[in-house]
């Protein structure tokens, strides 16, 4: 069974969240240097491109040192609070991305409150550390103050910190390390995102999910394809799901079950969805062919209808 880490990236709009995800994808080898890439890989929805913001929670996955890291890119606007909450329920840790000049903004407060209320422990990513006017110590003080106001636990207050420039593509554990980085001809620091990968591997817990139990998978977002119709995306809480498996879908604990068969199980590789024979508890996957798919629906094995409350 492969080690899995599930994380969400939350931030105020324009604090560099999408650029950070792009960089994590590139440096993990998900994209090769010769591949054509749009400047903001994750913003694929047309409305998002038009407005330059991230609305719909996207999923992608990278592999680092043999560990699979599922990344959920959440909306950065309060208007899409339901999306944020559902995305956070799939993960075990959040990367809280904060601008090194601006510090935490009102929107950061909104998403941070939701993450803390769910018991998630954050990793603070102070981004744009190479920006003129950068004031990381002030930013960290502001984050501590914010966490305190939001009622964070002592464990949540003891968050690891990584400093980075998503645009330049480097991350460091201490600000002083930035001074030692080699420089490009234009004077931009050059490094890698290794410090952030290491922080994820070290600090994100792997939930002890029951792989051997009956299937329970809650659908937390819906996509659509002209080829296969509705695609349900969610985290497998228990058991295994396999292509061709007979399942029942329940829209809440009191709902009537809808019987059907899983057509495909799709796992994320980069931003692509790759068909797999199956997947186990702890993973975030997409399924097709299942009747009754809706946000909040629970897919269960035929012998154990065990629906989760709607989100």
Tokens matching residue 32: 């090769």
Q: Range with the lowest mean pLDDT among 62-76, 141-155, 265-279?
A: 62-76
pLDDT at residue 22, as a whole number: 86
CATH number of the domain at 69, please: 3.40.50.300
Categorize the per-residue pLDDT at 107 as very low, low, confident or very high, splitting at 50, 70 and 90: confident
Phi then psi for 195, rounded to 5 degrees? -60, -35
CB 9 within 8 A of CB 94: yes
- Which long-range CB contacts under 8 A does 50-54 form with residues at least 24 apart? 53/13, 53/77, 54/13, 54/17, 54/18
pLDDT at residue 18, as a whole number: 78
310 within a domain of the structure (yes/no):
no
One domain, residues 123 and 195: yes
One domain, residues 271 and 173: no
**Averaged pLDDT, 297-304:** 97
211 within a domain of the structure (yes/no):
no
pLDDT at residue 187, as a whole number: 82
* This model's pTM is above 0.95: no
**Averaged pLDDT, 209-218:** 96
147-186 pLDDT tens trace:
999 999 999 999 999 999 999 999 999 999 988 888 888 8
One domain, residues 176 and 152: yes
Task: Compute the residue count for the chain.
Answer: 311
309 within a domain of the structure (yes/no):
no
One domain, residues 66 and 185: yes
103 within a domain of the structure (yes/no):
yes
Backbone Cα Rg of the chain: 20
Among candidate residues 160, 178, 203, the one where a domain is terminated: 203
One domain, residues 170 and 225: no
SS3 state at 136: helix
pLDDT at residue 183, as a whole number: 87
Range of the domain at 184: 4-203
One domain, residues 134 and 169: yes
One domain, residues 247 and 103: no
308 within a domain of the structure (yes/no):
no
Phi-psi region of 138 (alpha: psi -120 to 50; beta: other; left: phi over 0): alpha
Domain count, the chain: 2
One domain, residues 177 and 236: no
Better pLDDT: 223 or 50: 223
209 within a domain of the structure (yes/no):
no
How far is 286 from 2, CA to CA, in rounded Å?
A: 18
Better pLDDT: 222 or 41: 222
pLDDT at residue 257, as a whole number: 94
Better pLDDT: 74 or 176: 176
**Averaged pLDDT, 185-214:** 92
233 within a domain of the structure (yes/no):
yes
């Amino acid at each position: 069974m492969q080690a899995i880490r599930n994380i969400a990236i939350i931030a105020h709009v324009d604090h560099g969240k999408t650029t950070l995800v792009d960089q994590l994808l590139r440096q993990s080898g998900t994209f090769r240097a010769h591949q054509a890439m749009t400047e903001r890989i994750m913003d694929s929805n047309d409305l998002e491109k038009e407005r330059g913001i991230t609305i719909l929670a996207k999923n992608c996955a990278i592999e680092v040192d043999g560990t699979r890291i599922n990344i959920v890119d959440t909306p950065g606007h309060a208007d899409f609070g339901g999306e944020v909450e559902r995305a956070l329920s799939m993960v075990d840790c959040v990367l809280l991305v904060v601008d090194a000049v601006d510090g935490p903004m009102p929107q950061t407060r909104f998403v941070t409150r939701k993450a803390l209320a769910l018991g998630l422990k954050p990793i603070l990513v102070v981004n744009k550390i190479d920006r003129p006017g950068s004031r990381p110590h002030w930013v960290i003080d502001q984050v501590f103050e914010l966490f305190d106001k939001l009622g964070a636990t002592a464990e949540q207050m003891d968050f690891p910190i990584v400093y980075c420039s998503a645009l330049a593509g480097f991350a460091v554990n201490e600000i002083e390390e930035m001074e030692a980085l080699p420089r490009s001809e234009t004077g931009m620091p050059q490094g890698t995102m290794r410090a952030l990968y290491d922080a994820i591997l070290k600090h994100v817990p792997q939930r002890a999910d029951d792989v051997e139990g009956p299937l329970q998978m809650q659908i937390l977002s819906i996509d659509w394809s002209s080829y296969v119709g509705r695609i349900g995306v969610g985290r497998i809480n228990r058991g295994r799901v396999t292509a061709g498996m007979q399942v029942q879908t329940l829209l809440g604990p009191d709902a009537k079950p809808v019987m059907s068969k899983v057509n495909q199980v799709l796992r994320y590789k980069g931003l692509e969805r790759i068909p797999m024979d199956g997947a186990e508890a702890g993973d975030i996957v997409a399924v097709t062919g299942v009747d009754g798919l809706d946000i909040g629906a629970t897919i269960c094995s035929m012998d154990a209808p065990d629906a989760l409350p709607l989100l």
